[in-house]
Amino acid sequence: MRPTLIKLDDALFGAPANRDATVASVAGIIDQARDDFVDYMQQPDPDFDHITMGRAVARLTESEQDEMMQRLDAIIEDIHARRESTPDRSGFPRFAITVVMHQLNEPTSH
C-alpha cells in the first residue's frame, strides 16, 4: 500500500463540489491521525519513546516554502521506498506519520 500523499492544485478546486470533496478527504486523513493517536495513548502501556510530534508556525520565503515541502515529501517517499525494499515487515511495529503543511490565514485586527 502506497502512503497517502495528496498534492493539492487548482484542478481540485475548480468547482465548489471538488473543493468540498478535497477538504473532506484531507480532514479525514487528519481525523484518522488523531483517532490513531488517541487509541494508542489509551492503551495501558504506550511507549512514549516512540512518539514524536511538533507544530511550527513561521513566516517563510517562497523558496523556503518549496524547500520545506520537498523535504516533507521526501520523508513520505523514503517510507514508501523502505517498504518496497523489505516487503515482509510483518514482525515490525507499525508507525503512522501524518504531515500537513499549509499557509495560515492572517489574523484580523480590530
Q: Does residue 46 fall inside a structural domain?
A: yes
pTM tops 0.85, yes or no: no
Q: Does residue 107 fall inside a structural domain?
A: no
How many domains, in total, are found in the chain?
Answer: 1
Q: Does residue 48 fall inside a structural domain?
A: yes
If we measure between CA atoms, which residue out of 22, 4, 3 comes closest to residue 13? 22
Q: How far is CA 22 from CA 5, 61, 105, in A?
A: 13, 26, 19
Give 51's contacts (C-beta < 8 A, 6+ positions apart).
Answer: 40
User: Rounded mean pLDDT of the chain?
Assistant: 85
Mean pLDDT of 3-24: 71
- Residue with cell string 493539492: 8
Domain that holds residue 26: 10-85
| Predicted pLDDT of residue 17 | 75
Q: Does residue 1 fall inside a structural domain?
A: no
Q: Does residue 109 fall inside a structural domain?
A: no
